[in-house]
Structure 1
Amino acid sequence: MNDLDFDNAQQFSKVLEAVLLAAAKPLSIERIAELFDENTRPSASQIKAGLEQLANDIGQRSYQLKEVASGFRLQVRSEYATWVARLWEERPQRYSRAMLETLALIAYRQPITRGEIEDVRGVAVSTQIIKTLLEREWIRVVGYKDVPGKPAMLATTKVFLDYFNLRGLNELPNLSALKELQSASDELAAPVTTMPAQAGISVEPDQPEHSAEQVSFSSLLAELDSMEHDLTTDFNDPAIIAENDVDGTAGTETKLQTEPKG
């Protein structure tokens, strides 16, 4: 297709669909542009128009175009995840109450130290929990607090946002709405799964996008809510830091209003 017309959204969307199907991770607008010759690259507006056309074209298909923190990807719609999940033999990951509480506190109060997490939870945080979250690349150390001992400050990452289908921290569910959420057991067993690559494209089976345990952050919080009704959630988030690996831009400060748990 040497005569590709980037202004022809219908034609360009087919190329974008092929690229996203073969990609093992989300692609940003900038990364998509780099796939074309330097002298004949599409503009950001042309790429966005092509993506919009693609989203419309597959509106009735079993997979959808999803924008997350790192870019765009094609993934199976959640209503079909029950069957798709059976492609993987391992059981869906079950998250401990301690890990759920720790992850929720980091997400909503970041940057936060381990000691501050322990103050809220009222118990010590296992080193293994922090290690696991770091290994999953869901959290990272963003600095050290200027107090005796210089404790590390923890915050979430783009990998965390991508995994839970979030474009930014502002899309985190409202904690005050947790009481209205149903038990997450069914959703944990029926994850959202990313579209696998087409034949001839080598993709590692253990890529995060293909994990059979992928769930929404809402479901994790709902499960936490069902396990522990006395968790303190009436806190403020004084300094949410938006993850940005390119320029390190800090996010807008946000104050979370929550209702006490009954």
Structure 2
Amino acid sequence: MDDNEIRLFIEAALLAAGRPLSVDQIHGLFEADAAPEKPEIRKAVKGLIEEYETRGITIVEVASGFRMQIKSTMAERLHRLWEERPPRYSRALFETLALIAYRQPITRGEIEEIRGVSVSTNIIRSMLEREWVRVVGHRDVPGRPAMFGTTKQFLDYFGLKKLDDLPPLADLADWETLRVQLNLPAVEEEPGDEAVTAVITDLPVPGRFDDADELDDAVADGSGSDAVDPEDAEAERSPGADTVTALTEERGFEEIVATEWPEPVDADESGDLDTDKDIDISASGG
């Protein structure tokens, strides 16, 4: 099989799959006696990516492999092709998701401390059900609150290969910049919505992952803790959480700024982070 045949086969496979394919998966699609070496597959995919630069479709590398998709510049103009309306999410959900993505591993209480308002139960449940986030461990403080981190599905959905591909926080001056950089869908504001200042940068949030590479590895292989389903995560809440109204769910933020953050709490010390407080993203890869 020559180089051109390899490229044609890979192109057809990516189109037919409708999902990301890893190099190993692509390799497994070839007949055993005609399968190219994996470096040849990568070379062929690179050639396809270059070939598609002037087309309306593209091939992107995400956490799970390579995926064929329409270019983001074409997505809004083709929305009439899809009969089902994409799910709509509040700005508060995207803000919470951004905090988890940038400051993971992070607890619900820490998110609320940063945002200054309660985090809706529906927001946590929605992100868990979408498999954008998962419980990666528990903070070693009294109450052992769950710590949340992003998943491989999060990276795939937002067209990212690894966490380092997230736009630098220094470039995110406000909500609209964050929305554009992460290719988030527009959200509707409810009348009377209040701006909530969000604090994402310069927060020394302690956790089990010391750097992005270590966390990327945990996201990729699913390690970090035993699997926890939404019901278990729900059990982490403090009594009385259901009394918080849904109003806070729709609140967003206007500006990302740096501010003070409580000192890390050691396992043998008491502190305000011992329990989580009472609580109340479509993209190009969606």
TM-score (norm 1): 0.72
| Partner SS for 2:76 | helix
The residue aligned with 2:169 is 175
Partner of residue 43, structure 2: 49
In 1, the alpha carbon distance for the partners of 2:77 and 2:147 equals 40
Q: Does residue 140 in structure 1 map to residue 134 in structure 2?
A: yes
Distance 1:27 1:115, change over 3 A: same
Post-superposition shift, 1:233? 2.4
Structure 2 counterpart of 1:213: none
Please state if 1:232 is matched with 2:199: yes
Aligned equivalent of 2:156: 162
Note the C-alpha offset of 1:121: 1.4
Greater Cα offset, 86-95 or 101-110: 86-95
Distance 1:245 1:184, change over 3 A: closer
2:182 equivalent in structure 1: 217
* Deviation string, structure 1 residues 38-89 (Cα, Å, up to 9, x no partner): 4543222110111112123333221011111111011111221123221113
Distance verdict in 2 for CA 1:180–1:245, change over 3 Å: closer
Give the partner amino acid of 1:217.
L
Greater shift in the superposed pair: 83-92 or 123-132: 83-92
Of 57, 76, 81, which residue of structure 1 is paired with 2:75? 81
SS in 2 for 1:26: coil
- Deviations 1:197-233 (Å, cap 9, x if unpaired)? xxxxxxxxxxxxxxxxxxx625479999xx8472222
- One-letter amino acid of the structure 2 residue matched with residue 22 of structure 1: A
Higher mean Cα deviation, 30-39 or 75-84? 30-39
Structure 2 unaligned residues grouped into runs of 5+: 225-255, 260-286
Partner of residue 252, structure 1 = none
Per-residue deviation, 1:104: 1.1
The partner residue of 1:112 within 100, 106, 109 is 106
Which amino acid letter does the alignment assign opposite residue 54 of structure 2?
Answer: Q
Query: Counterpart of 1:45 in structure 2: which amino acid?
Result: P
Residue pair 2:90, 2:188 contacting (<8 A) in 1 also: no
Q: 1:17 matched to which residue of 2?
A: 11
Q: Normalising by the residue count of structure 2, what TM-score does the alignment of the two structures yield?
A: 0.66
* Alignment partners' CA distance in 2, 1:153 and 1:105: 12
Report the counterpart of residue 253 of structure 1 in structure 2. Answer: none
Root mean square deviation, CA, Å: 3.1
Shift of 1:176: 2.2
Deviation at 1:159, TM superposition (A): 0.7
Task: Report SS of the residue matched to 1:54.
Answer: helix
Q: Which has the higher contact order (CA 8 A, sep 6+)?
A: 2
Structure 1 stretches of 5 or more lacking a match? 188-215, 250-257
How many angstroms apart in 1 are the aligned matches of 2:186 and 2:161?
18
Correspondences of 1:54-69 after superposition (within 5 Å): 54-69=48-63
Q: 1:156 to 1:130 in 2, by over 3 A?
A: same
**Is the 2:63–2:220 Cα contact (8 Å) retained in structure 1?**
no
User: Match of 2:29, SS?
Assistant: coil
1:102 corresponds, among 85, 90, 96, to 96
Separation in structure 1 between the aligned mates of residue 90 and residue 187 of structure 2, nearest angstrom:
13
